Amino acid sequence: MKIIQFREAIAQAMSEEMRRDETIYLMGEEVAEYNGAYKASKGMLDEFGDKRVIDTPISEAGFSGIGVGSTMTGNRPIIEYMTFNFALVGIDQIINNAAKIRQMSGGQFPCPIVFRGPTGSAGQLAATHSQAFESWYANCPGLKVIVPSNPYDAKGLLKSAIRDDDPVIFMESEQMYGDKGEVPDGEYTLPIGVADIKRPGKDITLVTYGKILKEALKASEELIKEEIDVEIIDLRTIRPMDYQLIFESVKKTNRLVILEESWPFGNISTEITYQVQNEIFDYLDAPIEKINTADTPAPYSPVLLKEWLPNYDDVIKAIKKVMYHK
């Protein structure tokens, strides 16, 4: 095992897969000459050349469409967005082309493409640069959605995403690229659609994903001092979702809190809540609680942003509410 940064895990995954398969290429803004906006493609231009690591104009609709079209001629593109906020400009290509080619061609054309980049807030970037779109993409049949929380998961899942024959939305975070973690020296992949228990516990289940997992871990460290033992599930994959692991945990703990950095209406938490009450309602000893951002665009003010984002204090309050602790 070696300790590397999140950005290095991303670069390693892409480079290893590009060495293995010459049909894979990387395309996006500043991915080549600048080594990536967050240095997640450092050294790749030198190794693979400008035919496979391609800088683009600021034209998300254009290069997203080129990527989708190139899958129909045997390529396996990786499309990088500087942020998924900018992917809104190219979302027609993702939803109406990438997600539907396999069905609309009667199975003649799979669409092996990865759309990757950061999601969610990243400090004072204000309303248009602080949005989480996981639930938007997960709502669309034909897409797979992955949001890793650490370098190990990021590398293993990105390699699996690149090898997948369907379009994958792979979401990262500007605030995680410097995070460090252990990664195996040798080759490995992780299966898409399998969640992971990041902290075993017996009293309550806390489901989360992505960078906000850190707040869940902080909260669990505080709560164990009060003899509340929290089981933390990291979804890792939003679609397909590992409902069975959630069900098994809730059957054991009989309580559920969901932590998600997104607007509260019609999100991932809402879907999990429905599935749990529909499938294992009789195991619940308390109503399900979900924790989201405020139901407003993200503010620029640091004071307001702190209030807008969920934090570990919010997690502690929600867990105590579900545990009927004062």
| Residue positions annotated with a catalytic role | 60, 129
CA distance 80 to 92: 16
| Three-class DSSP labels, 240-266 | CCCHHHHHHHHHHHCCEEEECCCCCCC
Give the three-state DSSP class for 38. Answer: coil
DSSP 39-75: STTTTHHHHH-TTTEEE--S-HHHHHHHHHHHHTTT-
Nearest 5°: the CA angle 88, 310, 319 is 135
What is the torsional sign of CA 47, 52, 54, 59? negative
